[in-house]
């Protein structure tokens, strides 16, 4: 996918720079792009994406913070150093799983929102 995007971008840049009136054509393309960008339906989708990103941006750091708190608490429990180490390792593994789950949930929700926006 990245290769295709790079190819399209490269072709576009080559076209604009390779034409005799490259700057003029660039300005025409830019003007048309700005017209499309400023259309109400496009801006509605931009707003949806921004709102979604703001809402989901806190999910992963919150899970990370909660995990760190649990690890610190498990390290401060009573017991021998070996018991504390075992407790911290177990808690850290659980916390890492929780962070991974939060990240996966955010990705799945982003995919679903993108699909819904595409269908709208």
Domain ranges of the chain: 1-38, 40-120
Rounded to whole angstroms, the Cα distance separating 79 from 72 reads 14
Mean pLDDT for all residues in the chain? 80
The average pLDDT across 62-80 equals 81
Percent of all residues in the chain with a pLDDT value above 90, rounded to a whole number: 3
Q: Whole-prediction pTM value? A: 0.47
CA 117 to chain centre: 16
Task: For 113, list phi and psi in degrees, rounded to 5.
Answer: -65, -40
Q: How confident is the model at residue 43 (pLDDT cuts 50, 70, 90)?
A: confident
Which residue has 């003029």 as its token pair? 24
Q: What letter does residue 1 receive in the DSSP assignment?
A: -
* Token digits of residue 6: 């790079």
């Amino acid at each position: 996918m990245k290769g295709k995007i790079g190819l399209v971008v490269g072709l576009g840049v080559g076209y604009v720079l390779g034409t005799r009136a490259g700057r003029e054509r660039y300005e025409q393309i830019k003007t048309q792009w700005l017209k499309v960008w400023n259309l109400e339906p496009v801006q509605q989708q931009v707003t949806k994406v921004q709102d979604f990103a703001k809402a989901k941006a806190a999910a992963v750091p919150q899970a990370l913070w909660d995990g760190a708190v649990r690890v610190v608490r498990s390290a401060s429990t009573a017991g021998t150093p070996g018991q504390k180490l075992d407790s911290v390792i177990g808690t850290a593994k659980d916390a890492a799983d929780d962070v991974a789950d939060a990240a996966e949930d955010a990705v799945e929700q982003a995919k679903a929102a993108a699909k819904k926006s595409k269908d709208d």
